[in-house]
């Protein structure tokens, strides 16, 4: 079984940067893709970025493309989400997820079977 745990959230002013980390433990061979999602109050969780285990393919939501970067350090079993040029509309709870049967851009919640507890990101204007 795979376990994931996020860290690195916090408060930042508009235009600033944050880096989220997601540590993966357990049966890491059961993880073929990793994703970052976010959830606004009263809204469904939405995909932000994903990376396949081979690290060749990464995908981004249009709203963050060019500002966010997903990466992976296999030696540390950690996935990162570097977030630059943050704006108040990025304020949300961010979740890391691990998936086994990933399809296409892997930005759908249905691609994932293991979720972290989430970390809050707050961007002030």
pLDDT value of residue 4: 95
Residue 6: Cβ within 10 Å count? 23
State yes or no: pLDDT of 30 exceeds 80. no
State yes or no: pLDDT of 19 exceeds 90. yes
- C-alpha neighbours within 13 Å on the C-beta side of residue 105: 12
Per-residue pLDDT, averaged over 18-43, amounts to: 91
Per-residue confidence band for 1, with pLDDT thresholds at 50, 70 and 90: confident
Q: Which residues contact 109 (CB under 8 A, 6 or more apart)?
A: 37, 44, 45, 47, 97
pLDDT value of residue 119: 97
Per-residue pLDDT, averaged over 73-80, amounts to: 92
The C-alpha angle with vertex 7 and arms to 11 and 55, in degrees rounded to 5, equals: 115
pLDDT tens readout for residues 42-74: 999 999 999 998 877 999 999 999 999 999 998
Per-residue pLDDT, averaged over 14-42, amounts to: 92
Per-residue pLDDT, averaged over 25-42, amounts to: 89
């Amino acid at each position: 079984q795979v376990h994931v745990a996020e860290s690195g959230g916090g408060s930042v002013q508009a235009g600033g940067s944050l880096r989220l980390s997601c540590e993966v433990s357990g049966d890491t061979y059961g993880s073929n893709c990793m994703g970052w999602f976010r959830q606004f109050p009263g809204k469904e969780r939405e995909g932000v970025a994903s990376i396949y285990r081979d690290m060749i393919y990464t995908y981004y939501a249009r709203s963050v493309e060019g500002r966010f970067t997903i990466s992976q350090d296999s030696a540390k079993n950690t996935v990162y989400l570097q977030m630059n040029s943050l704006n108040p509309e990025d304020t949300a709870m961010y979740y890391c997820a691990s998936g086994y049967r990933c399809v296409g851009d892997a930005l759908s919640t249905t691609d994932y079977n293991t979720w972290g507890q989430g970390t809050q990101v707050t961007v002030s204007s």
